[in-house]
Amino acid sequence: MMSIGWLPAPFAAPPGVCAGVTTRAGGTSVGALGTFNLAAHVGDASACVAENRARLRAALSLPSEPLWLAQVHGIQVHVDDGGKGPTVPCDAAVTAVPGRVLAVLTADCLPVVLVSRDGQRLGVAHAGWRGLVGGVLEATVAAMGGVGDGLLAWLGPAIGPAAFEVGAEVRAAFVSACPGDAVGFVPNPRGRWQADLALLAQRRLARVGVAAVTASGWCTAADPQRFYSHRRDPASGRMATLVWRHD
């Protein structure tokens, strides 16, 4: 029986492709990081992170150690060929190598899994609002061949619109690039805006031809039992969203 928190991605992935997201259950981290933190950059004990990552690999019978990225809210995409991994910070990765496990870490930002319809090409991206504005999803689609209608997408847990309050500058960054993205923002009584990351991501994917999108609808901020949330708890751990293909 699996001893870690794991939510399979409920979308029609091709045969042999596995994807999903961890929860905060089943690990060794303590305090605000309790218990299944998988990030090495949030002040957790290195022994706890190492043990949690070992449990992840064992519980899911992963074919390899996940390709852990140094994420910086940018748009750099690592094109993986089965080597040692990226040498520069990246917020997305793609691969066509069977058994290669791609991963991104999140705690409010939107994790996006991309899979070609034949299951041969995989991608994953870390998409907060800065990454979305910058074009991390468009860059990931381009790195996968640029044929959006040949891809399936799954949007994992992220901060939902009821919890994600932003300033006018964030809305302006989206709307200046595409006026129609105004639909992703609702004014609130404080003179600010409630932003819908998942909707904004779907709109950006649609503009590069990715129409087959499944959104989890899970809000990290509203579900403290399952998910870490940096907005809710600044000293927060990170979940991992993974995708891989068996031989």
| Exposure of 28 in the CB half-sphere (CA atoms within 13 A) | 13
| Cα 83 from Cα 88, distance rounded (Å) | 14
For residues 117-144, average pLDDT:
98
Q: Architecture of domain 6-245 in CATH?
A: 4-Layer Sandwich (3.60)
**Residue-wise pLDDT tens digits, 165-174:** 999 999 999 9
| Cα 215 from Cα 1, distance rounded (Å) | 27
β-bridge mates for residue 106, sequence order = 239
Residue type, 247: D
Residue 84 has what pLDDT? Answer: 85
- The mean of the pLDDT values for the chain is 96
Q: Is the pLDDT of residue 85 over 90?
A: no
Q: How confident is the model at residue 1 (pLDDT cuts 50, 70, 90)?
A: very low
Q: What is the DSSP letter of 124?
A: E
Q: How confident is the model at residue 87 (pLDDT cuts 50, 70, 90)?
A: confident
| pTM as predicted | 0.97
Residue 151 has what pLDDT? Answer: 97
For residues 6-29, average pLDDT:
96
Distance (Å) of CA 25 to CA 15, 46, 77, 161, 228: 28, 18, 30, 25, 10
Residue 93 has what pLDDT? Answer: 98
Q: Do 27 and 37 contact (CB within 8 A), yes or no? A: yes
Residue 2 has what pLDDT? Answer: 56
